[in-house]
Amino acid sequence: MTTTPLLDQAHPAVKGGLLLEVTNISRQTDSIVSITFADLAGGLLPAYVPGSHLVVQYGAGVNAYSLTGSGSTPFEYIISVLQVEDGAGGSQAMHRLSVGDLVQVSRPRSAFAPVANATHQLLVAAGIGITPVLSHARSAVEWGTATDLIYVHRPGAGAHVEEARELLGDGLTECSDRASFQKVLAESLTHQPLGTHLYVCGPAAFMDDVLDQAREHGWPAARLHSEAFGAAELDDGEPFAVNLTRSGTRLEVPAGVSLLEALENAGKSIPNMCRKGICGECSLSVLRGTPQHRDLYLTDQEKAENTTMMCCVSRSLDEELELDL
């Protein structure tokens, strides 16, 4: 596997990720394009769990997009992006990309994984929500898991429709209006074999509606899955400052940089092991201020005392913390 180190100005969310080249752009519909990324040397990219997303940097911002492949031995990552006129600008930046551009991306992150022991999958997608669900469908076909897909899209304006038809044949039901979808969904929720898991992706209101109906039909929560970007990762957090009383120094900790990293960058060596908030090695004494505890090490009671913090993951609720360091 060839992975090229990132340039210096990488956004924290794509740190430790990959620098990839745009190798293909294909228009799916009026407002959706598919963008293909590949390794600069044409090498194998990290495999990913079906339903994973990629964080892609554009200028100073980042956006997460679902990967549409099955995730086994990928030589390319393909995302599909809906142009949003009034969004933060990510989708417009993606739509401006052209072949040959270099883009910084994270490693694939999994937050919408298939359940291994499902005997049958019911996939439900609306609009651009097809992307992670297509990834599930491909993987299910590779491993022979029985799969049905209900796909709601405007007539003639569905992305990846041909691929879905080819993959699933009779397993695909396309709907182009609310009433027909309602009928198909109700039918499907009633007649699924035991051991079926439902995966839904689309606009938030659409997902809520599908999940509500499934629960009304008696589906247990453990068998319902919806895409929730980034739920599995810690967010960048707010910037804060630390005052090191013993050395009389003040340090800024920007968003996306851990306190441990900030201290290390300032030449302090802090004992650490896991850098994930579990081992307890990097504990620091807090003299003033309220830490935002994000570790798994301290007990609830210790966290409430606010005299100790794990600097590899925890941050500050106050603008400044005073540390015994």
Among 40, 113, 175, 266, binds another protein (CB under 8 A): 113
Burial of 309 (0-12, 13-18, 19+ CB in 10 A): buried
> Which residue number, 41 or 116, has a Cβ lying nearer to another protein?
116
CB of 121 to another protein, least distance (A): 13
Q: Which two tokens stand for residue 219?
A: 């589906």
From residue 262, give the alpha-carbon distance in Å to each of 108, 269, 309.
Answer: 26, 11, 15
Is 257 a binding residue for ligand FES by CB under 6 A? The answer is no
Identity of the residue, 48 or 297, whose beta carbon is nearer to ligand FES in the bound complex:
297
Site for another protein in 262-281 (CB under 8 A): 273-276, 278-280
Tokens for 196? 């079926």
Which x/- pattern over 199-228 shows residues binding another protein (rule: CB under 8 A)? -----------------------x------
Binding partner of residue 282 among ligand FES, another protein, none, CB under 5 to 8 Å per kind? ligand FES
Strand partners, 34: 26, 80
Edge-to-edge strand ranges of the sheet holding 320-323: 249-253, 240-244, 320-323, 283-288, 308-310
Residue with the two structure tokens 């990928």: 74
CA distance linking residue 145 with residue 280, whole number of Å: 42
Cα 182 from Cα 29, distance rounded (Å): 24
CB–CB of 64/79 below 8 Å?
no
Q: What tokens does 143 get?
A: 């491993």
Residues 185-224, one symbol each (x = binds ligand FES by CB under 6 A, - = not), give ----------------------------------------
Residues 264-293: x where in contact with ligand FES by CB under 6 A, - otherwise, as a string? --------xxxx-xxxxxx-----------
Task: Say which entry of another protein, ligand FES, none residue 107 contacts (CB below 5 to 8 A, set by partner kind).
Answer: another protein
Query: With respect to ligand FES, which residue has the nearer C-beta, 7 or 296?
Result: 296
CA trace torsion 229, 232, 234, 235 (10° rounding): 0
| Residue 9 or 117 with smaller CB distance to another protein | 117
Closer of 88 and 115 to another protein (Cβ): 115
3-state SS, residue 149: strand
* Whether the Cβ atoms of residue 183 and residue 213 lie closer than 8 Å to each other: no
- Interacting residues with another protein (CB under 8 A): 44, 46-49, 52, 71-73, 107-110, 113, 115-118, 142-143, 222, 232-233, 273-276, 278-280, 296-297, 299
- Interacting residues with ligand FES (CB under 6 A): 272-275, 277-282, 295, 297, 310, 312
